[in-house]
Amino acid sequence: MSASGIADDVEFLIVGCGPAGGVAAREAARAGVETLVLEKDPVVGQKRVCAAGLRPGFCTTFDLPRSIVHCDTPTIALHDARGYRYEFPCGVSHTTTREELDGSIARLARAAGAEIRTSALFRSTHTDGKATIVEYADLVSGERRRVRARNAFFAQGSSARIEPSSPLAHATWSDGLITCYQYRVYLERPAAPVAYQTLEMHYYVAPSGRNVIGWMFPKRDHLSIGLGIQSKMRGADLRAELDAFLLTVQQRLFPGVPYTVREEGNLLYGGTPRPTLSDGHVFIGGTAAGLVDATTGEGIHEAAMSGRFAAEAMAQARKGLVSLPGQLYERLTKTAFYGRLHHRHKLMTFLERRPKRFELLFQQLARAPRLADLLQRDRDDFSIGEWLYLYAQAAQFGLRAAFAP
């Protein structure tokens, strides 16, 4: 690749056009902020590996077309290691694909005035003392290019490369990476009706002794069936584990139905959020910031909200109300998510030490529908009475779980 000088000077540069980067681009551009997005894939969302479940009201919250929704799923089903199933109402959540979700957000961002460059692979970043210089590879022309940005938002997912010397670095980041493998299962005939009304999550121990999270999320034309394992695993072993899991799902939901599969694999994240999200003019969001619920792997809502917070910080800076937008962004993001995400990570670590604890938790949720409902809400929504109820339920679970084999 040939080197070139700085070709662009922008107010707000975003790296990555997933839910975090796309929402940030759309809402910042709509607020009048000059915005440029660098996206490594030739088509936004095309190569994302994700079950793509959406919270109730997601499309309304982010002003997205209802046409991206594949299935309305009012039930979540949790399966323990013995295969017992526990069903809970979850409002009306939805499923989609990342191609449609990310692609729709990107189109709306462009319509709002943001520039999105695809086939633009992030390479490195440094500062010239006054601004951030980002170098990227133009995968079409083969050239290396540079952009000078007064503010930069990194939102390129779990594969985000952060130098160890950066204030945004997370010493235990690699410990939280999860190997994910998913099949898109295309059936020749529909599965059982319940398959299209339910989000399934499975928690079990593989023959290798590794803890596994499996899922089945329905789509219009296929079922997303996959698993995540928080350790490195040979490709052949990972495929064998997914094949075994697929068989158990098939026996329940589409026995005897012929199908074809499309394979997808990627690294996701299930650790704690990054301790620091900004150095003032450079900030990080979405999965790249570790904004993921460790108990479910869900992070689309958190990613999109982090993009909204980034855009709000930039809008305030443009009005002259803040001088360091990254500081405002970090405060908004941590206030919204850090308490819940840190507690979810602690809970998942506690459960995985003795997998029998998953069964105990699911049994308690089945006996206490109010608890199941509260755990699906944001913490800043709770009344004092609801907090007291949660602490009482937590104490009850802790006593039972302490004696789990």
Residue 63 covered by a domain: no
- Residue 300 and residue 52 in contact, taking contact as beta carbons nearer than 8 Å: yes
105 & 22 share domain: yes
Residue 354 covered by a domain: yes
- Residue 257 and residue 188 in contact, taking contact as beta carbons nearer than 8 Å: yes
319 & 213 share domain: no
The Cα–Cα gap between 264 and 241 comes to 14
Q: Is pLDDT above 60 for 23?
A: yes
The Cα–Cα gap between 391 and 349 comes to 19
Q: What's the whole-number mean pLDDT along residues 72-84? A: 94
112 & 197 share domain: no
Question: Any long-range contacts for 237-244 (C-beta under 8 Å, 24+ apart)?
Answer: 237/208, 238/179, 238/181, 238/265, 239/181, 239/263, 241/181, 241/206, 241/208, 241/212, 242/181, 242/182, 242/183
* Digit-coded pLDDT (tens) for 147-193: 999 999 999 998 888 888 889 999 999 888 888 899 999 999 999 99
249 & 367 share domain: no
Q: Is pLDDT above 90 for 198?
A: yes
Q: Is pLDDT above 80 for 306?
A: yes
The residue among 221, 240, 269 that closes a domain is 269
The residue among 249, 269, 289 that closes a domain is 269
329 & 235 share domain: no
Name the pTM for this structure. Answer: 0.94
One-letter identity of residue 25: A
> What percent of the chain clears pLDDT 70, i.e. is strictly above it?
98
The residue among 317, 337, 357 that closes a domain is 337
Closest by CA position to 296, among listed 195, 394, 156, 199: 199
45 & 183 share domain: no
322 & 346 share domain: no
Residue 60 covered by a domain: no
> Into how many domains does the chain fold?
3
The Cα–Cα gap between 305 and 348 comes to 23
Residue 240 covered by a domain: yes
138 & 110 share domain: yes
Residue 126 covered by a domain: yes
Query: Which domain range does residue 219 map to?
Result: 75-93+178-269
The Cα–Cα gap between 14 and 281 comes to 12
360 & 321 share domain: no
Strands 6-15 and 53-54: unpaired
Domain CATH code at residue 117: 3.50.50.60
282 & 327 share domain: yes
29 & 84 share domain: no
